[in-house]
Structure 1
């Protein structure tokens, strides 16, 4: 994998996590997913369709619905061949901020696969880590 292949905009087409020998799809078919790469930064976004606008005096319920219908994160990354490490600076899920997560990247026929041990325990989401496999299709520029 080289940086010129990585730079651009991608859409998530599959995502699976394996925990305790069981593999589960974690791709919500109702969401739109985008991941973007520059030469040294990444950003990801997901949202549900048809998000409602806030009222003039947004209620806590409106704010919560808005937060649940949109996710984003960004940071720096290191790329050395297939070895890829994300260093998260900002994220809508605060458990990720300040974390570094290592993956392997492969790129074949305009499809990017990002996979590796996912630190669910360190992030505070589970008692054991999982193995994450995400597949992205490059969008036309």
Structure 2
């Protein structure tokens, strides 16, 4: 009887440890993701941009770096190209970007903290973009789909 209780306790302890390890596990974000929509909330006003029509943006991740590319699908519109990248740290669902490269130097060398969630093939990124020199202080919610 005593041996059964010890075995049960040992089994439950291992199960508890494995659950704790799983809950601290980072999300699998490596690869290429295409932006579907982006919502910005600034000074109480919300604006959503649909990326299924005139604009296309992708975001790529490897083990340590991210990069994003955005452009208009209108061949005559060359002014809407945007790109940037840098390093990131992902701890569970806490994602911090360090933007090293961007066309607007006011954004470079900034850290941005986000929460990530993945539902099937959809990645959702929520957080605050604050860049005092650029006059930016807003919440963003971006929804991506995994590129296969």
Q: TM-score range by the shorter chain?
A: 0.7 to 0.9
Cα pair 2:54 2:74 within 8 Å, conserved: no
Aligned to 2:60: 36
Aligned to 1:87: 98
Choose from 104, 111, 124 the match for 2:134: 124
Runs of 4+ in 1 over 3 A off after TM superposition: 26-29
Q: Cα RMSD (Å) of the superposition?
A: 1.9
Provide Cα deviations, 1:19-59, integer angstroms capped at 9, x if missing partner. 2222111446411100000011000000112546xxxxxxx
Aligned to 1:56: none
The gaps in structure 1 that reach 5 residues or longer are 53-64
How many residues align structurally?
123
Bigger relative contact order (CA 8 A; separation at least 6): 1
The gaps in structure 2 that reach 5 residues or longer are 1-24
Provide Cα deviations, 1:69-91, integer angstroms capped at 9, x if missing partner. 31100100011111101001111
Alpha-carbon distance in structure 1 between the residues aligned to 2:133 and 2:26:
29
Cα pair 2:107 2:134 within 8 Å, conserved: no
TM-score for both structures, normalised by structure 2: 0.75
TM-score for both structures, normalised by structure 1: 0.78
Query: Higher mean Cα deviation, 76-85 or 22-31?
Result: 22-31
Provide Cα deviations, 1:89-111, integer angstroms capped at 9, x if missing partner. 11122221111111010111111
Choose from 73, 79, 82 the match for 1:49: 73
Which protein shows a greater Rg? 2
Cα pair 2:97 2:112 within 8 Å, conserved: yes
Provide Cα deviations, 1:88-139, integer angstroms capped at 9, x if missing partner. 111122221111111010111111000012215x25234xx22110010001
Cα pair 1:51 1:69 within 8 Å, conserved: no
Choose from 22, 39, 51 the match for 1:16: 39
Cα pair 1:74 1:89 within 8 Å, conserved: yes
